[in-house]
Structure 1
Amino acid sequence: MRKAIGALVGASALLAAAPSLAQTTLTIATVNNGDMIRMQGLTSDFTAKNPGINVKWVTLEENVLRQRVTTDIATKGGQFDVLTIGTYEVPIWAKQKWLLPLDDLGAAYDAKDILPKIADAVSVGGTLYAAPFYGESSMMMYRTDLFEKAGLKMPESPSWDFVFDAARKLTDKSAGVYGICLRGKAGWGENMAFLTAMANSYGARWFDEKWQPQFNTPEWKATLTDYVAIMKEAGPPGSSSNGFNENLALFNSGKCAMWIDATVAASFVSNPKESKVADKVGFALAPNKGLGKNANWLWAWNLAIPAGSKKVDAAKKFIAWATSKGYTELVASKEGWANVPPGTRTSLYQNEAYLSAAPFARLTLASIDSADPNHPTVKPVPYVGVQYAAIPEFQGIGTQVGQQFSAALSGATTVDAALTAAQASTEREMRRAGYLK
């Protein structure tokens, strides 16, 4: 008995003296969108399966995230182990060798299941450099009850003329209901994402084949004139401060008859836990001007690893977990199939449980499939990208232009003055960067 007690005491002493299991802490920079917030709430599933890894989240508003992540990776700051970046950054940063390839996430990951349009957008030379967490295009979301009351019927592929006419008829400012909600917050990925897609449908483009900026053209004037006019007539007050999240809140509280924005919003506007009008929402394609292009974009929020990371293995485990089929099934088990991250995997759009739960699924896929980054505009262009031009300088240029257009919306300047300023600032930057002689 004494020997047994002595053995137990000895074993306890050895355990006490043994070093504790080494912990790796991953710092993940992400955007404050609903799907990302949901992922944070499910992190315990990952840490339970990977007991040696802790996760620290840095959650930022979209414009701030882009600025912080870009600065960190360009200066090799090393603040983050996993980055949330978009389809704009991936090919540019991969070519600059700022990102590690993700071609070894394991056979179970099934990278071939990623939708071709999304896979192409986050690959260089056929190699994946970021894993898509969710993919999106843009679409029309609208209040079926208000349309019925007004005697209006939304076409599956509406024209801008129909949308503008409906917005005026559906506006009831005394009741706090506005005909249309659109992005106005300045930023290359905020108001300029929407306005560039709208401009594409109007026949406008950022640059001609010789990289000459095109804001002095009739097509851009028509785009910005119509946008400012309808927002002043039928938009909510303070629109120049509204981005994705602000408009989502307005729509869900019943203040918007129509909202054109990211297809990823569809699950939130039709979720009764989050939306007061969940049972009164319809969906349609983004509008067109009859020129062969709808105002729909192509985007994905993706997880990537900065080159030089000291925690590569742990980061790959997290990315493989967060962007896997298994994660989709986890969300479905907790929140229902309608609320899983959309737009990344072919298998999701072959899943009858998802298709029956998500009335927006087929339109989302059609919008993604019809967006063409290689031929985004009516006229030929020298750049790739639907709602952006995939050149390193675009981030700064797009934000400058976005500030001018937001000022036109707020009334701080005129449409003509905003276009003139946009033309001048873009020409200056393109000349400085060597695109123009």
Structure 2
Amino acid sequence: MKARTLMRRLAGGLAAVGLVFTAGCAGAGTLGATDQTVTIAMVSNSQMTDARELSSKFEEANPDIKLRFVTLSENQARAKITASTAMGGGEFDVVMISNYETPQWAENGWLVNLSDYTRKTPGYDENDFFPSLRESLSYDGDMYAVPFYGESSFLMYRKDLFEQAGITMPRTPTWQQVADAAAKLNGPDMVGICLRGKPGWGEVLAPLDTVINTFGGRWFDENWNAQLTSPEVQRAVQFYVDTVTKVGEPGAAASGFSECATQFGQGRTAMWYDATSAVSVLEDPESSTVVGKVGYAMAPMVEKPNPGWLYTWALGIPKSSDKKDSAWKFISWMTDKNYIRLVGEELGWARVPPGSRLSTYQIPEYKEASKAFGQATLDSIEGADPLKPTVQPVPYTGIQFLAIPEFQDLGTRVSQQISAAIAGQKTVAEALEQSQRYAEVVGRSYQEQS
């Protein structure tokens, strides 16, 4: 896609969700900063909180550089980082983005080519990153963001509760087996399963899209005809909504990754289907009451095997930054092999950022700490195929997102419809009919180009 087309489409998406920045807002992020201050915009997940806690080590080693963190929830971070980078705001020197944004923004010239830096940084070893993640963060063969952690998705379940109930969880379960187990374990003091319901293309749609894919559904057919009211999609979404409303967590329509992590980590739910990176929370005694009680199974399936997603939170440098060299110093510190060991030694090996570097899984201490989940994580990441995400052919790539500029807006709108169905404000059929209309607008824009 040409850069002008990408700029126009993304700009339209920004306008559609109301991400309009004034000049005053753009400058607000640099208040109090000095010429030596690197400003980092990041998501408030546990691994990022650990990085902030350890950042004094970086400042001690680099006394000429000060760090300023802007930490936001996932939905807020996506909106602010997208708007700033697209408009060349310049208030961020390092941005936390994913494999959804990186190739598109690189094509549009908004990001610095980090391979130019990685190849000149002794011992950094770009080839140590998981190949699928490295490829997903590349454009024309070069990396424009580097992984902080990588993930797929899998099913987490309470081994002790399953044993008490006489239920066996297979390594590769079906969604029906999961639903049946959730129904048996659901009760006054324990819900059967936690599933995201919070609006956001990176919230409820992340797990739901994998369910749609494995049920045989798709967003568009090969000719960009919207398919969100197809029988396959309707069955998948109805199954998801029924499961979370009947045997899921209270307030599911407002529950995202963080809320489910708290529910499961505090022993209030028997299962949780979500990101493999959740192990950093669940296996940490400081944040979890279920350490050692959790079993890990592959992403549940129906028709399509290996339906788990492929995702990475990564670090990039906007072209608008005027501190690119200092920004790379920080990025290389936070994504280097030595940082992995620093987290393990300082905070505990269960809190190591998982799924980014192959060498992590060769560290003896981490191999011991990850016995329960290490192989399942590796198999899930390696089994995910964003080039073939569905049973039937599609004109897009990506598993839990569509790798098109419009998806940031389209996915957000559709997610709001799904959350409304989970909240009981409308039926699944009504939610999908409105979602279909949103998707048809996007589909037509591609049909007109062909």
Whether the 8 Å CA contact 1:208–1:214 is kept in 2: the answer is yes
Counterparts of 1:77 and 1:60, CA distance in 2: 17
Q: Shift of residue 336 of structure 1?
A: 2.4
In structure 2, the partner of 1:142 is 157
Whether the 8 Å CA contact 2:194–2:273 is kept in 1: the answer is yes
Q: Shift of residue 309 of structure 1?
A: 1.4
Q: Shift of residue 281 of structure 1?
A: 1.0
Which digits, 9 at most, give the CA deviation of each residue in 1:151-195, with x for residues without a partner?
A: 10111111111000000000012x2x1000000001111101111
Q: Shift of residue 114 of structure 1?
A: 0.7
Counterparts of 2:132 and 2:374, CA distance in 1: 16
Counterparts of 1:426 and 1:157, CA distance in 2: 32
In structure 1, the partner of 2:140 is 125
Q: Shift of residue 357 of structure 1?
A: 1.1
Whether the 8 Å CA contact 2:147–2:314 is kept in 1: the answer is yes
> Letter of the aligned partner of 1:406 in structure 2?
S
In structure 1, the partner of 2:174 is 159
Which digits, 9 at most, give the CA deviation of each residue in 1:4-37, with x for residues without a partner?
A: xxxxxxxxxxxxxxxxxx9610110000100000
Whether the 8 Å CA contact 2:47–2:280 is kept in 1: the answer is no
Q: Does 1:376 align with 2:389?
A: yes
Q: Shift of residue 343 of structure 1?
A: 0.5
Aligned residues: 413
Whether the 8 Å CA contact 1:101–1:129 is kept in 2: the answer is yes
Q: Shift of residue 434 of structure 1?
A: 5.8
* Equivalent position to 2:317, from 295, 305, 308: 305
In structure 1, the partner of 2:79 is 67
* Equivalent position to 1:36, from 44, 48, 51: 48
Whether the 8 Å CA contact 2:304–2:390 is kept in 1: the answer is no
SS at match of 2:123: helix
In structure 2, the partner of 1:262 is 275
Q: Does 1:85 align with 2:97?
A: yes
Counterparts of 1:384 and 1:321, CA distance in 2: 31
Q: 1:386 to 1:435 in 2, by over 3 A?
A: farther
Q: Shift of residue 216 of structure 1?
A: 1.5
SS at match of 1:232: helix
Q: Shift of residue 352 of structure 1?
A: 3.1
Q: How does 1:312-391 map to 2 (within 5 A)?
A: 312-358=324-370, 359-391=372-404
Counterparts of 1:78 and 1:308, CA distance in 2: 5
Q: Shift of residue 71 of structure 1?
A: 0.5
SS at match of 1:237: coil
Q: Does 1:193 align with 2:206?
A: yes
In structure 1, the partner of 2:109 is 97
Counterparts of 1:435 and 1:241, CA distance in 2: 37
Q: 1:435 to 1:388 in 2, by over 3 A?
A: farther
Counterparts of 1:309 and 1:28, CA distance in 2: 11
Mean alpha-carbon deviation: is it higher for 93-102 or for 374-383?
374-383
Q: Which runs of 5+ in 2 are unaligned?
A: 1-33
Q: Shift of residue 435 of structure 1?
A: 5.3
Q: Shift of residue 235 of structure 1?
A: 0.7
Q: How does 1:268-279 map to 2 (within 5 A)?
A: 268-279=281-292
Which digits, 9 at most, give the CA deviation of each residue in 1:262-291, with x for residues without a partner?
A: 0000121122211111131111111001x2
Q: Any runs of at least 4 consecutive aligned residues in structure 1 with deviations exceeding 6 A, and if so which?
A: none
In structure 2, the partner of 1:403 is 416
Q: Which runs of 5+ in 1 are unaligned?
A: 1-21
Counterparts of 1:33 and 1:321, CA distance in 2: 19
Aligned-residue sequence identity (percent) comes to 46
Whether the 8 Å CA contact 1:211–1:435 is kept in 2: the answer is no
SS at match of 2:443: helix
> Letter of the aligned partner of 2:131 in structure 1?
P
Whether the 8 Å CA contact 1:78–1:309 is kept in 2: the answer is yes
SS at match of 1:389: coil
Counterparts of 2:398 and 2:305, CA distance in 1: 14
Q: Shift of residue 234 of structure 1?
A: 0.3
Q: Shift of residue 350 of structure 1?
A: 2.6
Q: Shift of residue 233 of structure 1?
A: 1.2
SS at match of 1:279: coil
SS at match of 2:308: coil
Which digits, 9 at most, give the CA deviation of each residue in 1:54-83, with x for residues without a partner?
A: 000000000000000000011111111100
Whether the 8 Å CA contact 2:144–2:316 is kept in 1: the answer is yes
Counterparts of 2:166 and 2:132, CA distance in 1: 38
> Letter of the aligned partner of 2:153 in structure 1?
S
Counterparts of 1:279 and 1:113, CA distance in 2: 29
TM-score by length of 2: 0.90
Q: Shift of residue 349 of structure 1?
A: 2.0
SS at match of 2:327: helix
Q: Shift of residue 425 of structure 1?
A: 1.4
Q: Shift of residue 230 of structure 1?
A: 1.1
Q: Shift of residue 356 of structure 1?
A: 1.6
> Letter of the aligned partner of 1:211 in structure 2?
W
> Letter of the aligned partner of 1:301 in structure 2?
W
Cα root mean square deviation, aligned: 1.3
SS at match of 2:313: strand
Q: 1:404 to 1:379 in 2, by over 3 A?
A: same
TM-score by length of 1: 0.92
Counterparts of 1:355 and 1:208, CA distance in 2: 43
Counterparts of 1:270 and 1:144, CA distance in 2: 14
Q: Does 1:110 align with 2:125?
A: yes
